[in-house]
Amino acid sequence: MSFQPFVPISSASQISLLPELSSEQSLGSQAWLLKGYALPHAGAIFEAVADALEGSPLRKMSTARGWMSVAQSNCGAYGWVSDRTGYRYATSDPLTGTPWPAMPPVLYQLAVNAAQHVGFGAFDPQACLINYYEPGSRMGLHQDRDEADLKAPIVSVSLGLPAVFQFGGLCRTDPVQKVGLEHGDVLVWGGVDRLRFHGVMTVKSASSPLAHAHRLNLTFRRVT
Ligand code: MD3
Ligand code: FE
């Protein structure tokens, strides 16, 4: 699975002049969308992710119900893995048999800062799941509940192609709110919103040849 790094279209100096691009939206009482929060760091994030993927490449994992359409890898002390027997966190990459690449400082710091920005102090993420969507990829409605520490927040960074995120309730059948996620957006959620069902609708290809060709999502979690 190849990873195509891409250059940010706008420069950081242009972005900082547009306060509306870094506004925060509240999605729940403890869930926030930080529009454009990661934009100034997009280039550095792509480089850091490309480095990590040299140690642990992208791969499509299997589940009890079939193959995932999203290609994934991890960096950090723990990585989220799935196979036909279920989901778990592992300290080694089952593909290489070696520990996951270390979490690059630029990724760690971005996650810590974003959590701090909305009031989650002292977030110390141990796992960064790298989700790579090609057009046609999706992530069905699910809860993130494989972590022993459900008190810590989760931070997710979206880059590249836009997607429609589904933000549901605590029951699978609760109505979902649809939220557009764009290049540079960061989501932070925890507390009462930590176990909400969520998913990503099928990613559409870009209409412009100058646009990004894939969607990259980084999800930072405390595991133990
Ligand atoms: C809000 N990834 O890897 S991240 C996942 O965009 C995952 O690739 C999605 O869900 C992605 O598990 C969405 C944003 C997100 C994740 C979990 C949440 C938002 C959430 C849990 C509760 C509330
Ligand atoms: Fe999730």
Tell me if 186 sits within 8 A of 38, measured CB to CB: yes
Choice between 23 and 129, residue whose per-residue pLDDT is larger: 129
Lining residues, ligand 1, CB within 6 Å = 31, 129, 131, 139, 144, 154, 156, 167, 187, 189, 193, 196, 198, 200, 217, 219
- Choice among 4-13, 60-69, 121-130, 133-142 with the minimum mean pLDDT: 4-13
211 Cα: distance to centroid of ligand 1 (angstroms):
23
Residue 11: pLDDT band by 50, 70, 90 thresholds? very low
Domain membership of residue 6 (yes or no) is no
CATH code of 147's domain: 2.60.120.590
Domain membership of residue 3 (yes or no) is no
Instruction: Tell me the backbone φ, ψ of residue 162, rounded to 5 degrees.
Output: -70, 165
Domain membership of residue 10 (yes or no) is no
Question: What is the number of other CB atoms lying within 10 angstroms of the CB of residue 182?
Answer: 16
- Choice among 1-5, 151-155, 194-198 with the minimum mean pLDDT: 1-5
Structural domain including 143 reads: 21-221
154 Cα: distance to centroid of ligand 1 (angstroms):
8
pLDDT score for 60:
98
Domain membership of residue 187 (yes or no) is yes
The atom number, within ligand 1, closest to the CA of 194 reads 22
The atom number, within ligand 1, closest to the CA of 131 reads 8
Helices 105-117 and 42-55: angle between axes, nearest 10 degrees: 130
pLDDT score for 23:
82
Domain membership of residue 8 (yes or no) is no
The average confidence (pLDDT) of the chain is 92
Residue 129: pLDDT band by 50, 70, 90 thresholds? very high
Domain membership of residue 9 (yes or no) is no
- Choice among 12-16, 79-83, 159-163, 198-202 with the minimum mean pLDDT: 12-16
Is 40 in a helix, a strand, or coil?
Answer: helix
Domain membership of residue 58 (yes or no) is yes
With a CB cutoff of 8 Å and minimum separation 6, the contacts of 173 are: none
Domain membership of residue 164 (yes or no) is yes
Q: Measured between alpha carbons, how far is 169 from 34 in angstroms, rounded to an integer?
A: 20
Task: State how many domains the chain has.
Answer: 1
Which ligand has the shortest distance to the CA of 138? Answer: 1
Tell me if 91 sits within 8 A of 77, measured CB to CB: yes
Nearest CA to ligand 1 atom 8: 217
Q: Per-residue pLDDT tens for 155-178?
A: 999 999 999 999 999 999 999 999
Tell me if 173 sits within 8 A of 209, measured CB to CB: no
